Structure 1
Amino acid sequence: MTSSTTAHTQLLHSLFEAALDVAQPHRCVPRHMPCPVKGKTIVIGAGKASAAMAQAFEQNWTGGEVSGLVVTRYGYAVPCQHIDIVEAAHPVPDANGLTAAQDILQRVANLTEADQVVVLISGGGSALLPLPYDEISLSDKQTINSALLKSGANIIEMNTVRRHLSQIKGGRLAAACFPAKVTTLLISDVPGDDLSSIASGPTVADHTTCLDALAVIDKYQIDISKAVRQKLEQSAYESIKPNDPRIKNTVTKLIATPQMALEAAAKRAKELGIHSMILGDSIEGEAKEVGKVMAGITRQVRTFGQPIKPPCLLLSGGETTVTIKGDGVGGRNVEFLLSLAIELQGQPGISAIACDTDGVDGGAEIAGAMITEHSLDDAISKGINASDYLANNDAHSFFEKIGQSVITGPTLTNVNDFRAIFIDSLPE
């Protein structure tokens, strides 16, 4: 690896670190603390960042006694003194998540107007708060979740289904807290920051219907029982709608978003004297197809200096999808990146990073990966065919074998995917 290539990879790592830093709970929670109330303050929540959010809340709360429970992914717990932390499975739910969801509902029962509930929500909350209806067993829920994850459905579609099979999502948690005041602090991991889709919107009204959920199920041929289908057809699992009086005392605040992360990376680049362009914070589509599109934009910059002149950075976020057809574990960031590399064919002076800000991309405990102009040559020298790995949805294995995986461990936040492409000036 040349010294210039090393500098490029260090730059990309620095940008990713800046994106993670701005979304850390200890930075964004204190700015949005609710005021104390006369009654009880109960803190509940779910998501990959929820434990770190609870810790930040405790450290900055001056309103007296507080109690509560949040559920986070295995390995994402941090110590709290007054708020109980439960770990559960993600992305396929388990019994720990089910028990935690039941416990949370019990803790917010029988509250008064003098009480308040602070709800700490981040990405991953859907799987971590499984509380299906009686006709749906935990095993059924696990099967449906697994099928959705492999189907190629986007996050909006998946969470439309999840909301309508749950007794706690789709505004139902806020309704259970009534008449207490409810303040929800959200770290967004969904394209467009759609409130009802972040952890399937447990405290916000839902505009979608049971029939919308059924349409997604049929579109992707997800197997459900006749009893569940009948309930959906009869709108028996309907979520909380905007005019429901039980959510009139709710306040919702977005405290960290994908756009904030991209802007933090752009600021870091500017400090280093490099121009950048944010292409979008909510880019969706099949990961390998988005890789092809980004390669086309990169070539336009390299060849014509449009829409920005090199040296420069192209930044983007969002949540692409992977329809798993091969034997690999998927991973939308690595699949995007491998597709990008194949399309660029080692063009000089181009490096890129693509990572999930929660530290987990697809079914691997790996945040993502990086490429340089030498990545494909490195693979060829090891007898590795990049196209074969892409076709097998096995990009994680590809990057592990050429030593270009990005491993962060639990980042304790989650603002969706981070992608950065650096395009250097060609020597004259």
Structure 2
Amino acid sequence: MKRDALEILETGYEAIMVERLFKSKIEVRDGHICFADQKICLNDYERIFVIAIGKCAVSSAKALEDILGDKITSGIVLDVKKDEFKNLLSEEGTHPFPSAKNVFVTEQIIEMLKQATKKDLVLTVISGGGSALLCLPYKTDFQNQKEFIEELMKKGANITEINTVRKHTSSIKGGQFAEFAYPAKLVSFILSDVPGDDLSVIASGPTVMDKTTIKDAEDVLKKYDMQNSMRHLNISLTETPKKEKFFENVTNILLGSNMVGLEAMKRKAEDLGYDAYIEDNKLEGEVVSVSEKIVTKNYLPKSCHIWGGETTVKVKGNGIGGRNQEFVLASLPYIVPNMVVVASASDGWDNSDTAGAIGDKDLFKRASDEGLETEDFLKENNSYEFFKKVGGHINTGRTGANVADWYFVLTGEDSE
């Protein structure tokens, strides 16, 4: 059954291969770039800039370069890895926290956007990881910003809350990218890594008119008791642009999301003979409680139940691991025979050099036989070391995609 689980998971990864996704949804035909139900005449513009940001930046920029060829004037690709391009500058930044390099490249991007006129076309790719990579803190430095956001994450804030704060402590997020690009025509191809696919939340919505206000950011900071840290780290809040004129020439297109992988996994599970269900594509919550709730449900035999989303970890210890490994670790005491539990990051990086974990009753027994208590590892947030000792890691390498995480429960002929 583990083999079936890994086949199902692999199908999800194949479905979100970014270059394949782009080439299936974007094409140049008769001098027009065509996508969704729209087309833009390339000859109407003197220059075409490509700016790709996030963990999908390199692979998406590769696809756009193949599609557009020499029509690209110039551009910048900011990812956690570098590659070679003909007319694009590739830069390697840091994630999940900002760095001086991220700030430097962001300033280069802003200078390029400021050069654009109404006679230019700016094609942008926004993907997960963009919140940390595209970084220009407002009235503070990146080190204070890093410490501030890290504390907010450790307190268990979800991605929407974190990005609300990021937008209002930044000089580039929350629609400010679009303001810099004005009056050029801006098309933003967006790959979602957030539950619910809210375009204003993905990478903190640099090309989308922000619906939140300073008051919303203040509410988040109050909820997590961050006021003292705000003063200590010299963090100030700024309002995001609300003037409609900055967004009149902006087209935001959701090109890919978690659901693409979920649907592919569902089909694969059915092909393997399981009754398959996509339970939710907006899974959120504290990872240990979410894991227990999911694994202790009563499932019919020979079934596959799939979720997409992004849980949160309350950091209490100094261990190594990520939310997907912690999800499976927390599930192990509750797994019944003939059940397999999988949690894996679509980008292949679960806060460590592994994508996630796979667990079943045999793995739990092996850990118990070796005197390894799951609760001890959970207290230290040390899921990585647990699975390193007993097996169960899922290793994909960085995938070049990022559409949040996948979780599923697979049951055999008799799960009782």
Report TM bin, short chain.
over 0.9
CA distance in 2, matches of 1:244, 1:110: 21
Q: Which runs of 5+ in 1 are unaligned?
A: 1-7
1:251 corresponds to: 251
Contact 1:322 1:330 in 2 (8 A): no
CA distance in 1, matches of 2:209, 2:364: 48
1:259, CA displacement in angstroms?
Answer: 1.1
CA distance in 1, matches of 2:273, 2:68: 39
Provide TM-score, normalisation by structure 1: 0.90
Q: Which runs of 5+ in 2 are unaligned?
A: 28-32, 34-39
CA distance in 2, matches of 1:422, 1:98: 44
Contact 2:337 2:415 in 1 (8 A): no
Q: What letter matches 1:129 in structure 2?
A: L
Q: Which moved more, 1:55-64 or 1:105-114?
A: 55-64
How many residue pairs are counted as aligned between the two chains? 400
Instruction: Say what the alpha-carbon RMSD is for the aligned residues.
Output: 1.7
Residue 50 of structure 2: SS of its match in structure 1? strand
Decide which of 387, 391, 399 is 2:375's aligned counterpart. 387
Residue 343 of structure 2: SS of its match in structure 1? strand
CA distance in 1, matches of 2:93, 2:282: 28
Q: What letter matches 2:221 in structure 1?
A: I
| 1:23 aligned onto 2:13 | no
Identity percentage of aligned residues: 34
1:330, CA displacement in angstroms?
Answer: 4.3
CA distance in 1, matches of 2:4, 2:415: 19
| 1:103 aligned onto 2:138 | no
1:388, CA displacement in angstroms?
Answer: 1.1
Decide which of 351, 357, 360 is 2:340's aligned counterpart. 351
CA distance in 1, matches of 2:167, 2:321: 25
1:140 corresponds to: 144
1:339, CA displacement in angstroms?
Answer: 1.4
| 1:166 aligned onto 2:173 | no
Q: What letter matches 2:239 in structure 1?
A: E
Residue 108 of structure 1: SS of its match in structure 2? helix
CA distance in 2, matches of 1:220, 1:257: 29
Decide which of 218, 231, 242 is 1:225's aligned counterpart. 231
Contact 2:144 2:233 in 1 (8 A): no
Contact 1:32 1:185 in 2 (8 A): no
Q: What letter matches 1:265 in structure 2?
A: M
2:36 corresponds to: none
Q: What letter matches 2:240 in structure 1?
A: S
1:239 corresponds to: 240
Q: Deviations over 1:266-308 (max 9, x none)?
A: 11122223221111011100000011111122xx11xxx3xxx
CA distance in 2, matches of 1:427, 1:84: 53
1:188, CA displacement in angstroms?
Answer: 0.4
Q: Deviations over 1:326-374 (max 9, x none)?
A: 1223411111111111222xx2111121111111113x12110100220
CA distance in 1, matches of 2:309, 2:334: 21
Contact 1:342 1:387 in 2 (8 A): no
Residue 200 of structure 2: SS of its match in structure 1? helix
Q: 1:336 to 1:111 in 2, by over 3 A?
A: same
